[in-house]
Amino acid sequence: MTDATASGVPAGKHTSGSLLEQSPRTKRRNASEARFRFYGMAAVGIGLVFLVLLLIAIVRNGVPAYTQTFLSLPIELKAEALDKNGNRDLEDIRKVSTFGYNPLLDEALLRVVADNGIESDYSGADLRKMISSSAAAQVRDYVLTHPAQIGETVEFRVLASSRVDGYLKGRVLREDLERDKNLDAAHLDIIDVLKDAGAVTRTFNWAFIFGADASESRPEQAGIGVSMLGSLFMMIVVLVLSLPIGVAASIYLEEFAPKNRWTDLIEVNISNLAAVPSIVFGILGLAVFIQFMHLPQSAPLVGGLVLTLMTLPTIIISTRASLKSVPPSIRDAALGVGASKMQSVFHHVLPLAMPGILTGTIIGLAQALGETAPLLLIGMVGYIASNYPDGVASGFLDPNSAMPAQIYEWAKRADPAYYERAWGGIIILLLFLMTMNIIAVILRRRFERRW
């Protein structure tokens, strides 16, 4: 304001006073106005561009994980290799390890290559590089469940190796294979022919969504299903603990707490806990739940407990806000007809605040679902989640992974084929988060009352 008087036009000395033509100073001011406005728009634009770039990166890199290349292979289940005694005794059949199945695979591969008229001097073991090392186990499992089929020729769809899969998806290029001892360019020629013949196909990859994690050398087999269950069990723990505790704490602080030091201490604590870095909660979980209380490492129960402590402040803050938005007249009316304070809260205020509380809880759960750092410290990474838990108790207590921990684990592995899985996992994680947030928005829109 002092600027305006200092640079203002002195009295009596009129410069161009036209309303139709802008003075240079007005022009300058208007230009700076336009510039400022443009900066603002640019900032919003940059923010949105980052969002779009992020989403493009996720979708472009992640979508290939949802298709997988398979090779159709008629395999002759030779009786002399699988059941030497010929009595179809399951015990005898079980004695043949997966190594015993490799010759059958080799033979089938050689036959397929010859049938399609491909000239190749590869041996069967060389050709086997094109398919996943899980193929032998797949055939063995089939034989163990269908022993009657021994001696027949059965058509199998075996997983192609991750290199072949990557080649068909455009991730692995011929040039890349020069230094790769797992596959040669000549293999790719065979694949091209087989693809034209229809023996190599790419289909939707249900195994990625529902399957288990695989060891480092078999990215084509890895799935996120088991760690999804781990996340589910963790979220159950978080919901069961944090909703009642959070609501109870908020009711006390909002409705009953006297104004004293203890209450102040609690309030300060809650607002500070909301801003403590998540990794510190991981340290707490490690020290208290695992070192001190000897709870099992990597268990969803421990993960759930840590995430509960982390989400409690969020839930308490949002619950208090929705309790506060219930008008005092409701409480007064209840007290007026003889309800106790407790009855007025539990019978009238709480039901009215419920939509807001649930919205806050869902948002807190979504936050917990995506949190990774504390899970690293309680051992949910480095563990290969290859088995489904066999029951509810084992779901809570047996070592498992969680979705974000599984994604981190894949991102750390050396094989680039795992990166595709990691992005694919992110798509699933984000879909879950989106669903939860949409539910929260709908809850708020439909049920929240404005007073």
Partner 1 sequence: MPATWIFLIVLALAAIGYVLGRSRALASAGGDSRHLHSLPSYYGANAALLALVPSLLVLVIWLFAQPLVIQNRVEHLVPETSYETEGELSLLMSDVRRIADGLDLAVERGALTEDEASDIRVEFTDIRERLGAVGVALGSDVQAPMLAAAKAWREMNASGNLIRTVVVLLVALAGFGLGLTRARKDFRARNSVEKVIKGLLIVAASLAILTTLGIVLSLLFNTIEFFRLYPALDFFFGTTWAPSFGGGSELGILPLLWGTLYISIIALAVAVPIGLFAAVYLSEYASPAVRSFAKPLIEVLAGIPTIVYGLFALLTVGPLLFQAFGPGTLGWMGGGRAVMTAGLVMGIMLIPFVSSLSDDIINAVPQAMRDGSLGLGATKSETVKQVVLPAALPGIVGAILLAASRAIGETMIVVLGAGAAARLSMNPFEAMTTVTAKIVSQLTGDADFASPEALVAFALGMTLFVITLGLNVFALWIVRKYREQYE
Q: Interface residues for partner 1 in 370-389 (CB under 8 A)?
A: 370-373, 376-377, 379, 381-382
Considering beta carbons, is residue 134 or 367 the nearer one to partner 1?
Answer: 367
Considering beta carbons, is residue 135 or 366 the nearer one to partner 1?
Answer: 366
Size of the site for partner 1 (CB under 8 A): 88
Secondary structure class of 430 (helix, strand, coil): helix
Task: Give the shortest CB-156-to-partner 1 separation in angstroms.
Answer: 34
316 alpha carbon, distance to own chain's centre: 26
Q: Residue 328, exposed/middle/buried by CB under 10 A (0-12, 13-18, 19+)?
A: exposed
Considering beta carbons, is residue 71 or 284 the nearer one to partner 1?
Answer: 284
Task: Give the shortest CB-51-to-partner 1 separation in angstroms.
Answer: 6
Rounded CA-CA distance 125/450 in Å is 72
Under DSSP, the state recorded for 448 is: P
- Considering the rule CB under 8 A, would residue 265 count as an interface residue with partner 1? yes
Pick out residues in 116-175 that bind partner 1 (CB under 8 A).
Answer: none
Among 218, 419, 439, 448, binds partner 1 (CB under 8 A): 419
Pick out residues in 40-59 that bind partner 1 (CB under 8 A).
Answer: 40-44, 46-48, 50-51, 54, 57-58
Under DSSP, the state recorded for 437 is: H
Binding flags for partner 1, 322-351, as an x/- string (CB under 8 A): ------------------xxx---------
**Which residues, 6 or more positions from 236, have their beta carbon under 8 angstroms from its beta carbon?**
304
- Considering the rule CB under 8 A, would residue 74 count as an interface residue with partner 1? no
Task: Give the shortest CB-218-to-partner 1 separation in angstroms.
Answer: 21
Task: Give the shortest CB-373-to-partner 1 separation in angstroms.
Answer: 4
- Considering the rule CB under 8 A, would residue 39 count as an interface residue with partner 1? yes
* C-alpha to C-alpha distances, 122 to 161, 197, 257, 389, 397, nearest whole angstrom: 17, 19, 80, 42, 49
Pick out residues in 281-300 that bind partner 1 (CB under 8 A).
Answer: 281, 283-284, 286-288, 291-294
Rounded CA-CA distance 395/406 in Å is 16
Q: Is residue 223 within 8 Å of 209, Cβ to Cβ?
A: yes
* C-alpha to C-alpha distances, 139 to 67, 157, 294, 312, nearest whole angstrom: 22, 10, 42, 49
Pick out residues in 198-257 that bind partner 1 (CB under 8 A).
Answer: 244-246, 248-249, 251-253, 256-257
**String of DSSP letters for 405-426:** HHHHHHHHSS-THHHHHHHHHH
Among 96, 209, 384, 433, binds partner 1 (CB under 8 A): 433
Rounded CA-CA distance 362/439 in Å is 8
Considering beta carbons, is residue 52 or 114 the nearer one to partner 1?
Answer: 52
Binding flags for partner 1, 387-416, as an x/- string (CB under 8 A): -----------------x--xx--x-----
Task: Give the strand order in the sheet containing 153-159.
Answer: 153-159, 67-76, 200-204
Task: Give the shortest CB-147-to-partner 1 separation in angstroms.
Answer: 30
